[in-house]
Amino acid sequence: MSAKLLLDEMYTGFKEYFEILGWEVTTVHEEGLSGAEDKEIVKYAKKNNLLIVTQDQKPAELAELMEIPNVLISKRAIAELIDSEIRKKYQEE
């Protein structure tokens, strides 16, 4: 898949990481969408063939309704990843 990613506001700081991993990336900030309503961001993604990466349920659900590629990174998934890393690195034997 050769999708261009649109990082929602909470993931703007990850742009360089995704670029190093080989993705073409833009952010809502770069696209002039900071503080925009979820519906506006989703419509922009659809118009520009972007895959939305977000932590917010609402834009992910709107994207699903409009059949726009998206990835919802839940707080639970982040917590589980952090927990796993802590346990691997510092688990008492």
What is residue 27's predicted lDDT score, i.e. its pLDDT? Answer: 98
32 CB-near residues (< 8 Å, 6+ apart): none
Query: Class for domain 4-90, per CATH?
Result: alpha beta
Range 70-84 burial, b when 16+ CB lie within 10 A, else e: bebbeeeeeeeeeee
| Chunked mean pLDDT (size 10), the chain, 93 residues | 88 95 96 96 97 95 96 92 94 67
Task: Give this prediction's pTM.
Answer: 0.86
User: Which sequence spans correspond to the domains of the chain?
Assistant: 4-90
